[in-house]
Amino acid sequence: MTQTPILLVLLLALTSAAYYFGCKRAFRVADGKIRKLHSLPGYYGLYVALWAALPALLILCAWLLFQGSIITRMVVSSLPDAIQQLGPDRLNLVVNDIRNLVSGNIVSGEPDAIMLAAADYYRGLLSVSRNMLFAIVLIVAGLSGWYGYSKIRAQHRARNGVESIINWLLVACSTVAILTTVGIVLSVLFESIRFFQSVPITEFLFGLEWSPQIALRADQAGSSGAFGAVPLFAGTLLITFIAMTVAVPIGLMSALYLAEYASARVRAIAKPLLEVLAGIPTVVYGFFAALTVAPFIRESGGFLGLDVASESALAAGLVMGMMIIPFVSSLSDDVINAVPQSLREGAYGMGATSSETIRRVIFPAALPGIVGAILLAVSRAIGETMIVVMAAGLASNLTANPLEAVTTVTVQIVTLLVGDQEFDSPKTLAAFALGLVLFVVTLALNFVALYIVRKYREQYD
Amino acid sequence: MTNPGKALPEGATSFARIQAGMAKRRAAERRFKMLGRIAVSVGLLFLSVLLISIVSKGYTAFWQTQMRIDVVLTADEIDPDGTRSAETLRKADYSSLIKQSMRDMFPEVSGRRDKFALYGLVSNGAAFDLRDKVMADPSLIGTKVSLWVPADDDVDMLMKGHIDRNAAEDDRRIKDNVLGWINQLEAEDRLELRFNIDFFTKGDSRDPELAGIRGALMGTIFTLIVTLSLSFPLGVAAAVYLEEFAPKNKWTDLIEVNINNLAAVPSIVFGLLGLAVFINVFGLPRSAPLLGGLVLTLMTLPTIIIASRAALKSVPPSIRDAALGIGASPMQATLYHVIPLALPGMLTGTIIGMAQALGETAPLLMIGMVAFIADVPQGVFDPSTALPVQIYLWADSPERAYVERTSAAIMVLLGFLALMNLVAVLLRKRFERRW
Amino acid sequence: MSPQGQAMALKLDGAAGAAHVATVGRDVRETVGEIRVNDPRVRCTDVNVHYGDKHAIKNISLDVGKGEVLAMIGPSGCGKSTFLRCLNRMNDTVRECRVTGEILLDGEDINSRHIDVVPLRARVAMVFQKPNPFPKSIYENVAFGPRIHGLCESKADLDVVVESSLRKANLWDEVKDRLDDVGTGLSGGQQQRLCIARAIAIEPEVILMDEPCSALDPISTAKVEQLIEELRQQFSIVIVTHSMQQAARVSQRTAYFHMGDLIEVSETDRLFIKPRHQLTEDYITGRFG
């Protein structure tokens, strides 16, 4: 891949040349009188340059994206039938070994002749592909640049041309967001469907036992693996619930206090400080939960005569609640500030105290917005990963006791996918099914929350 | 409701009633206000406990116990043939030299187990330090050199007071005989806490005393470069299109709803996307910063788009009208007038997005940037890890010495985050404009 | 009611009727006319208001009589609303606003330290420019005051208060069948009368109205004005208005404010027919405004 930068530099040079000649030609067709041209000469240059660069860049990107998988497929089909007959996971290992041979890394086991041949073939294909890429990109750039160049006339609307190209570029950029969503949906959906082919969806959604170990030998005890995700959902809900019981009262009360009571100075200091909590990476919270909070809870539990697991749901939930405080408070703050001043004055003007005004007028008026904010916070808590990975347990445990260890959806996704696994086992596919559930739930929560908040805003606009 | 006139007593009586209720209402008011104060203080308390616990655990990692050893560089051992070739010098057995020097210091130690414990006082990295020294100056061979090498992490922990010397021997990682040697070394001024340069210049290691954040930091930097160079142009272009050019129709509505929802999708889902699409479909190299950058680009894009749109919105329409009024095309008005005015706001949003990407861990776990990688990555295709992932890995390691290193790495990470946010705040202050 | 009759009813305090001489600041103008009445509900002396560096109200002295409607007119930004908000200390809710001077309500200084603003505002209630019913039911809007102040022992009492207040506000017949509907769903004029009903439900002594009709159509305005006329029997009313016609229609006395000064106070008819101050005359003849 080291040639790609060289190719890019060449392409850049070609583009600059295209710009230069485009400008030159514009001057020439106008006999040096810019007034005769439809657009400024620079636009003619840009027009040619864009023609030269864009198609070539497009080809380059597509090539680089697909080159790997195409070459792999060709190499695999060149392998002896005996190897091709292997199961998908074994074949994957072989392909990995070939790739490692190509890049000169350490290989598992002694490479045999077939492997070496395949690696040579792979290397050959790679260099052919690179050379072809070089040639094709440069030729395409030259041709399309020439096409742009040949279109230059005095009355050619170069500016409009350039602008419509830019417009299409902008459209393409704004579509990336859609493509991302489509990508997410398709990737989790396809893998989930494959998962549900081996594990029935009802068992996944309603099963009470989760132990995703797949045995190495078929006759091993517990070889089947159980994929009932209810304990994970329950664990996620338990931790989310603990987090919300911490974050909602504290976040809401601080938002109300800072918005309605605090002096300008206190507000100017306390508000940004609270928001710092939101800027701290979750891995830091995870570390804090695992090394400071969990032992503390365990010890104080022992002091009270309670048996606390070393990875208790309470520790993870508590720290997650800390993290979400600023989320709740700043969203509520927006909502509270959107309550019109006239309502406050109406209450004050009749002799309501501040707390009566807040509880009886501002809070009910802001309630829909606050509910939206809390839903957003819940969706955030459900999707939070690092805190629970580091501070909640791995063992699935169907319990409502916050002092016990529970595991969550995100924890299981991480444990199933981190490390070297075959990609096609139900174990890894289960992670995608969990991802699908996570995505659907958070999406639904966000959707409802954003809808409520928007309706609420409209009410006072 | 037959006799409304009698409903309320005379004004004076109603006033008396109000007065009578005031004490209770005042108390309720005070309670409510106190609750608010408590909420704010609890929030701030959390923050300070978090920071204090990290700093108090981590600041010691910036110092490292070094041990002075005297090594006799016998020519027989290093270079028996006297060729002085780089290859020979590199392959020589320096650790046996160091073992020898330890034996020389404590001639009374005998027995396999005790000797093993004795050798364990010095870090495995000492041999590499010695090798580098000899290779830099081969003329040292045959002489006796005195050099400072990192001590083992247990010694380091003892020196920093994390291991209690007075605890019962069975509860202590350092046994009594080893403690005696350490005391002797201390008495001879052979142990010293020095600034831990290795922490900033070395990659990850299985030995805590040798582990540094350079590799993770470079991985993070490469990842962020990829992220920035993709997400800034993409985000700004998308924002410009949606705010300035897009017609109001179902399609743009869909894009808008979609962006708002993407902003709240859990980050781990982006990791799944990266794994399924970028690795399995496109075959991009696993564990590479390029891949991490792509995933983080998709993740930060909504943040940047939303911030950039807000910045564009705050540019008053009169600017556009002025440009259009003198015959500029909408594209020219946007490029030459609106975007320059909105740029500070867009940059602020981008920095905030980058800060988010800098602290992100979960999606990187999904795409394999979580392996143990001792080498410092040299480019966006090299396997690497990132600073937050390094923190995660170290936090999982059982050795006591990793705790302080994790905390120190967190301090570095938080330092970078603070810096980025500071820049964002300054940028906003400097260019804030009220129309 | 004839203009003379109104003037007689007020029994102007002759001694204080002379020009009130300004005591502080050189740019302060003297007030012309009768600032004092015989039986004041509210008596203000030398009131000054500062917003940060801005001197918004300059040394104003003025009485509000029992059972009278006092109108305050003047060009926008002249300080009439600010002065109105001094009377129940609504300016407390505005940061960096400083009020000095003496404001006596039934002989008690409301700016004094040991006065609690909560019962004060229950005695001096306020109706605002823009109708601001709470986003609750009509019933709850009216019941809000009696509830927070603990005026009613039982639900039945509360029902009675709500009905009587709505009746007094001439709104009962329009809303009696939908008391549970949201107050914000009413028309603008109904909303404003709801806000007035909300204020009178706590039986205040004084009602302050800050341009209560500026957001209403002429028919609603007429209804509110009629209501003000009726309420005068029970309450003292101070109304700020931008409409001289309205001041002439509803008030017995009118005060003209200009740039933070109180220029002239007279019984309404006299002020509009024979203004004593040049600025007043300029204003009512439409030279500026």
Q: How far apart are CA B356 and CA B264, in angstroms?
A: 13
**Per-residue pLDDT at B9:** 42
Q: Indicate the range of A245-249, B271-275, B371-375, C275-279 predicted with least confidence.
A: B371-375
Q: Which of A179-193, B193-207, C241-255 has the lowest mean pLDDT?
A: B193-207
Q: Which amino acid is at C72?
A: M
| Residue C203 near chain B (CB below 8 Å) | yes
Q: What pLDDT does A461 receive?
A: 61
A306 and A422 share one domain: yes
Q: What is the per-residue pLDDT for B346?
A: 92
Task: Flag whether A127 is in a domain.
Answer: yes
So what's the pLDDT on residue C2?
Answer: 43
- C199/A350 CB distance under 8 A: yes
Mean pLDDT of chain A: 85
Residues of B in contact with A279 (CB under 8 A): 355, 359, 417, 421
Domain boundary among A137, A156, A175: A156
Q: How many CB atoms lie within 10 A of CB A314?
A: 24
Residue A458: CB atoms within 10 A of its CB come to 8
Q: Residue B417 has which token pair?
A: 């985050």
Residue C26 has pLDDT above 70, yes or no: no
* CA B308/CA B237 separation, integer angstroms: 9
Candidates C123, C148, C167; nearest CB to B4: C167
Give the C-alpha separation, A376 to A335, whole Å.
13
CA distance C8 to C253: 12
- Reply yes or no on whether the pLDDT at A64 is more than 90: no
pLDDT tier for residue C21 given thresholds of 50, 70 and 90: very low
**CB distance C191 to C131 below 8 Å:** yes
Q: CA quadruple B136, B137, B142, B145: dihedral positive or negative?
A: negative
Q: In what order do the strands lie in the sheet with B191-195?
A: B144-150, B63-72, B191-195
Domain membership of residue A95 (yes or no) is yes
Chain B residues touching residue C117 (CB < 8 angstroms): none
CA distance B388 to chain A (A): 6
Cβ distance of B362 and A171 shorter than 8 Å: no
Region at C34 (left for phi over 0; alpha for psi -120 to 50; beta for the rest): beta
Confidence class for position C23, pLDDT limits 50, 70, 90: very low
CB atoms C163 and B1 under 8 Å: yes
C42 touches chain A (CB under 8 A): no
Please answer yes or no on whether C202 and B14 come within 8 Å at the CB atom.
Answer: yes
Residue of chain C minimizing CA distance to B10: C203
Give the whole-angstrom CA distance, residue A149 versus residue A14.
13
Cα–Cα distance measured from residue A128 to residue A131, given in angstroms and rounded to the nearest whole number: 5
**How confident is the model at residue B413, as a pLDDT?**
95
> Minimal Cα–Cα distance from C199 to chain A, Å?
6
Query: Is A149 in the same domain as A258?
Result: no
Residues A97 and A243 in one domain: no
pLDDT of residue A103: 67
Looking at the complex, does the CB of residue A352 fall below 8 Å from at least one CB of chain C? yes
Model pLDDT for residues A204-259, shown as the tens digit of each residue: 888 888 877 654 444 544 445 678 888 899 999 999 999 999 999 999 999 999 98
Assign A450 a pLDDT band (cuts: 50, 70, 90).
confident
- State the best of C153, C157, C164 to mutate against chain B, taking most chain B CBs within 10 Å: C164
Which stretches of B53-212 are assigned E, i.e. beta strand? 63-72, 144-150, 191-195
Pair A17, A95 in one domain: yes
Cβ proximity of B211 and B405 under 8 Å: yes
Residue C135: list chain A partners with CB under 8 A: 343, 364-365, 459
Token pair of C166, please? 């709505």
What number is the average pLDDT over the span B157-176?
A: 80
For residue B302, what pLDDT is reported? 93
Residues A264 and A368 in one domain: yes
Say whether both A246 and A147 belong to one domain.
Answer: no
Could you give the domains of chain C? Answer: 3-284 (3.40.50.300)
Q: Look at residue C116 in the predicted model and tell me its pLDDT.
A: 84
- Starting from the edge strand earliest in sequence, which strands make up the sheet with C97-105, in order? C54-65, C40-51, C97-105, C108-109
Q: What structural domains does chain B harbor?
A: 61-196 (no CATH), 214-431 (1.10.3720.10)
CA distance B183 to B254: 71
Given the DSSP bridges, would you call strands C253-258 and C69-73 parallel, antiparallel or unpaired?
parallel
Instruction: Give the whole-number percent of chain B exceeding pLDDT 90.
Output: 32
pLDDT digits (tens, 9 = 90+) for B341-350: 899 889 999 9
In chain A, residues with a C-beta closer than 8 Å to the C-beta of C205 are: none
Average pLDDT of span C204-209: 91
pLDDT of C55-99, one tens digit each?
Answer: 888 889 999 998 899 999 988 888 888 999 999 888 887 778 888
- Collect all residues with Cβ–Cβ distance below 8 Å to B55 and sequence separation of at least 6: B407, B411
How far CA A244 is from CA of A238, B7, B364, in Å, comes to: 10, 46, 27
- Sequence letter at residue A18: A
User: What is the pLDDT at residue B2?
Assistant: 38
Q: Of the residues A127, A156, A185, which one is the last residue of a structural domain?
A: A156
Cβ A288 vs Cβ A320: under 8 Å: no
Residue B150 has pLDDT above 90, yes or no: no
Residues of chain C positioned with their CB less than 8 A from the CB of B25: 118, 148
Q: How many structural domains are present in chain A?
A: 2
Report whether pLDDT(B202) > 50.
yes
In A, minimum Cα distance to C89 occurs at A349
Same domain, A239 and A140: no
Distance CA B23, CA C144 (A): 19
Cα–Cα distance, A338 to C256 (Å, whole number): 36
Final residue before a domain boundary, out of A133, A156, A179: A156
The string of pLDDT tens digits covering residues B205-218 is 888 888 889 999 99
Q: Give pLDDT, residue A87.
A: 67
Which site among C93, C195, C205 would you substitute to test the A interface, given the most A Cβ atoms closer than 10 Å to its Cβ? C93
CA distance A126 to chain B (A): 14
A345 reaches C (C-beta below 8 A): yes
Q: Report the distance separating Cα B189 and Cα B337, nearest Å.
A: 68
Indicate whether A1 pLDDT > 60: no
- Report the distance separating Cα C61 and Cα C46, nearest Å: 5
- A402 CB-side CA count, 13 A: 16
pLDDT tens across A343-388, in order?
998 999 888 998 999 999 999 889 888 999 999 999 999 999 999 9
Cα(C250)–Cα(C253) distance, integer angstroms = 9
> The domain spanning residue A453 has which CATH number?
1.10.3720.10
Contact (Cβ atoms closer than 8 angstroms) between residue A163 and residue B331: yes
Rounded distance between C-alpha atoms, residue B419 and residue A201, angstroms: 48
The mean per-residue pLDDT over the stretch B224-236 comes to: 94
Answer whether residue A326 is part of any domain.
yes
One domain, residues A290 and A439: yes
Residue A331 covered by a domain:
yes
How large is the C-alpha radius of gyration of chain B?
A: 32
DSSP class of C77? T
CA distance C3 to C20: 24
pLDDT in tens, C102-142: 999 988 898 888 888 888 888 899 999 888 898 889 999 99
Alpha-carbon gap: B433 to the closest alpha carbon of chain C (Å): 23
Per-residue pLDDT at B7 exceeds 60 = no
Mutation target for B interface from A125, A173, A266, A384: give the one with most B CBs within 10 A: A173
pLDDT at position B231: 94
- Does B264 have pLDDT greater than 90? no
Which chain A residue's Cα is nearest to C206?
Answer: A350
Where is mean pLDDT largest: A150-164, B252-266, C9-23, C25-39? B252-266
> In terms of residue numbers, what domain contains A233?
226-460
Backbone φ, ψ for residue B71 (5° rounding): -115, 130
Which residues in chain B are closer than 8 Å to A386, comparing Cβ atoms? 361-362, 388, 392
**Which residue is listed with tokens 């595991």?**
A407
Best mutation target, B3, B6, B8, B10, to test chain C (most C CBs within 10 A): B8
Contact C144 A352 (CB under 8 A): yes
Q: List % helix, strand, coil for chain B (3-state, nearest 5).
A: 70, 5, 25
Per-residue pLDDT of B80-97, as tens digits, reads 777 778 788 888 888 888
Quick one: A254 and A377 in the same domain?
yes
A256, A353, A358: residue with CB nearest B25: A353
pLDDT tens column, C231-275: 888 889 999 998 888 999 999 999 999 888 899 999 999 999 989
- Tell me if B4 and C163 make a contact (CB, 8 A cut-off): yes
- Please name the residue that has the structure tokens 């549900």: A196
Is A217 a member of any domain? no
